[in-house]
Amino acid sequence: DAKTTQPNSMESNEEEPVHLPCNHSTISGTDYIHWYRQLPSQGPEYVIHGLTSNVNNRMASLAIAEDRKSSTLILHRATLRDAAVYYCILIGIQGAQKLVFGQGTRLTINP
């Protein structure tokens, strides 16, 4: 599985946008970029995923670089409930959907 690199931690203020970066320079052409997050004392939950084009859903937006070697998860207006560990994970099209978790980015939201 291709490796991803994320900052260990980030901090932001409530009601401000948050941009969480992820580097995946060894991504293959068929790897999908998935984001999950783990709220305190809970199991991870799916956030968003994409292949080449930018994606939006009710939780977040995913901006994918043109060369696909990096991506950014965007929380448009962070709330205290968004404080979590965010994981960027690559899943191949032939993959068994098993998730290989890195260390993720611990996001702290200040009130």
98 binds another protein (CB under 8 A): yes
99 binds another protein (CB under 8 A): yes
| Helix (H/G/I), strand (E/B), else coil: 99 | coil
Choose, by CB under 8 A, the member of 45, 52, 54, 108 that binds another protein: 45
Phi and psi for 80 in degrees, rounded to 5? -60, -30
7 binds another protein (CB under 8 A): no
Residue with tokens 């901006």: 63
Under the rule (CB under 8 A), what is the footprint of another protein? 32, 34, 36, 38, 42-46, 49, 85, 87, 96-104
